[in-house]
Amino acid sequence: MILKSNGFKLAVAVLIGIIVFILPRPEGTKFKLSGTGADQLSQSVAQYFSTQETAPGKPIILTAKAPGTDQAQVQYLSSQAKEQGLSEVNVEYVDGLSPKAKRFLSVLAVLVILFVFEPIPLEITAALIGASLVILGITDVKGAWAPYMHPVVLFIMCCLIFAIALDKVGLTKRLGYYIIKKAGNSVTRFTFIISIGLGLASSVMHDAAACAIGIVTMLPLMRAVGIEPHTRTAKFMMLSLPFACSCGGMGTLVGGGRCMVSAAFLKEFTGIEITFFEWMKYCMPAAIICVPVAVLVTYMVYRPDPKFKLPDFDEDLGAMTALEKKALIIIGLSFISWLTKGLHGLDYSVTGMVGVACLVLFGVLKWRDVNDNLEWGTALFIFGGGISLGLAMGYSGAADYFANLFFPLIQGKGWLVLFAGVAVFGALVTNAMANVAAAALILPIVIPMAQLEGVNPTILALGLGTATSFAMLLVIGCPPNAIAYSYKYFKSSDLTKLGLVATPILLLALFGVVITWWKFLGLV
């Protein structure tokens, strides 16, 4: 049927991109001046713009007195700066959409269709992100391709290589054996136990590593009983893990970068500091609830076939071999180095790659094992492309535009509406950019808003740190999604379908924790 053909899907994607491109572009009424000479420029255009009071040294906000006229546009301000020799003054949009942001949105519209319906392989779609950003003048060549070798990309590679090592030496078989001994050979019970266990472990270890370990434990068992890719049972098992691991990261400050960024921005803007134990006190209950809820929702959407029973594992696996012990020690030390990043300051990718080198140097892995088994396309192109796209959303001004368009709608309606709006916006935006970037983008906008309304800004910082864990609509949303997708047991659209159901349910669960547990603690 033509409606299901890849050519038709591709044509629809391009058509939607063209429609977005030719839609009228809102110029807006407010503009931001920064840099040396901003004061001089604002005084020279005072007849056309009113000036908003800001702190000394901060950017100046101008509001057009006659919107729609030639003197109420960025081009006019830029030309005035040029005529007066004020080359260091930057003029930016506040509530309008810049031409660069408009071009970005047309690219984004095409890519979202391609990511969900996969008319071409996702690796190729992801490679086209960098190419399209350069062709449409949204960034330069370096800005487009550098994120493909971002530290996060290297970190994902480390997690995948660790999983290869655990599988090769047989430690994942031991883990599967242990769970089956405790839980029996039910696919449903096994998936719930391993997903919830590793999901909660994601509060103190990186969610990508937890997801990778769980998947390589599951895969041999799935193959042993003949669970084929793209079946409901395969989707249930392979999607439960990334969703559970994403939710688990909200439990503590070390569970995910978005938690650290939220705490850091809160201190930067307000002086309020959230300690490790305070964060855990407020957010761990949300993780404990959301992790099993995520697995339960996956079970409801993709009910596994009860005819499948996992192997009984009658044989005795014996004592751990020397190779298993070496792998366990090296990977264990790498995990400790990730947990103690705050003490030594070395990036996850650096200590992770040292661990990878040790695995090869001590004979646990050969380079051929890595080269033959690593899903290079997933890490390099799919997640690297996602980071490039997310960064472009920020520097093109598109993210600022939506934030300034969205947040005034919830301003002045009380803390709960403000919290819910921030959480929903964060959960949606983080699908197109790293959750750390989403938190860094939104917090500077909403913290001053909360202070103006007398709302405790700690509530919004905690809310954003938790809600950005729900990157469940696109494969590029977070590392666990990309890692699970790399094994090709489900389509991108399967993840989106589940995410459309799970995201609102998990947000409701988070709101439930906020209005009960946080109220009990006296935070709200």
Instruction: Assess if residue 135 is contained within a domain.
Output: yes
- Are 270 and 197 part of one and the same domain? yes
Residue 455 and residue 464: Cα distance in Å, rounded?
15
pLDDT digits (tens, 9 = 90+) for 117-159: 889 988 899 899 999 999 999 999 999 999 898 887 888 888 8
In a domain, 356, yes or no: yes
18 and 42 both lie in a single domain: no
Q: Name residues whose C-beta falls within 8 Å of residue 169's C-beta, 6 or more positions apart in sequence.
A: 321, 323, 324, 327, 364
Range of the domain at 172: 152-373
Show which of 344, 373, 402 is a domain's final residue. Answer: 373
- What are 426-447's pLDDT values in tens digits? 898 888 776 767 777 788 778 8
Residues 347 and 441 in one domain: no
* Confidence (pTM): 0.81
Shared-domain flag, residues 169 and 47? no
365 falls within a domain = yes
Q: Are 403 and 308 members of one domain?
A: no
Residues 105 and 92 in one domain: no
The verdict on 134 and 235 lying in the same domain is no
pLDDT (0 to 100) of residue 53: 64
The Cα 303–Cα 305 span in angstroms is 7
- Three-state DSSP class for 63? strand
Q: Are residues 441 and 366 in the same domain?
A: no
Unique residue bearing structure tokens 């920064």: 34
> Do residues 320 and 180 share a domain?
yes
CA distance 203 to 291: 11
- 127 falls within a domain: yes
Q: Based on the fold, state whether residues 356 and 414 are members of the same structural domain.
A: no
In a domain, 380, yes or no: no
- pLDDT value of residue 105: 93
Long-range CB pairs of 267-270 (<8 Å, 24+ gap) are: 269/443, 269/444, 269/447, 269/448, 269/457, 270/447, 270/451, 270/457
What would the pLDDT profile of 236-247 be if each residue is shown by its tens digit?
A: 999 999 999 999
The burial of 368, by beta-carbon neighbours within 10 Å (0-12 exposed, 13-18 middle, 19 or more buried), is given as: exposed
Spatial separation of the C-alpha atoms in residues 451 and 465, rounded to whole Å: 18
Q: Whole-angstrom Cα distance, residue 5 to residue 27?
A: 39
Q: Are 304 and 233 in contact (CB under 8 A)?
A: yes
pLDDT at 106 over 70: yes
Q: Is residue 273 domain-resident?
A: yes
Answer whether residue 54 shows pLDDT above 70: no
Are 363 and 401 found together in one domain? no
Tokens at residue 359, please? 């695995």
Q: State what percent of residues in the chain have pLDDT above 90.
A: 44
CB 29 within 8 A of CB 64: yes
Q: Would residue 145 count as lying in a domain? A: no
Phi, psi torsion values for 197, nearest 5 degrees:
-60, -50
Quote the number of domains for the chain. Answer: 4
Residue 181 and residue 76 in one domain: no
- Amino acid 136: pLDDT: 94
What is the sign of the dihedral through the CA atoms of 345, 347, 348 and 352? negative
pLDDT digits (tens, 9 = 90+) for 64-86: 999 888 889 999 999 999 999 88
In a domain, 79, yes or no: yes
Q: What is the pLDDT of residue 16?
A: 94
325-384 residue pLDDT tens: 999 999 999 988 887 877 888 888 899 999 999 999 999 999 999 998 888 887 788 878
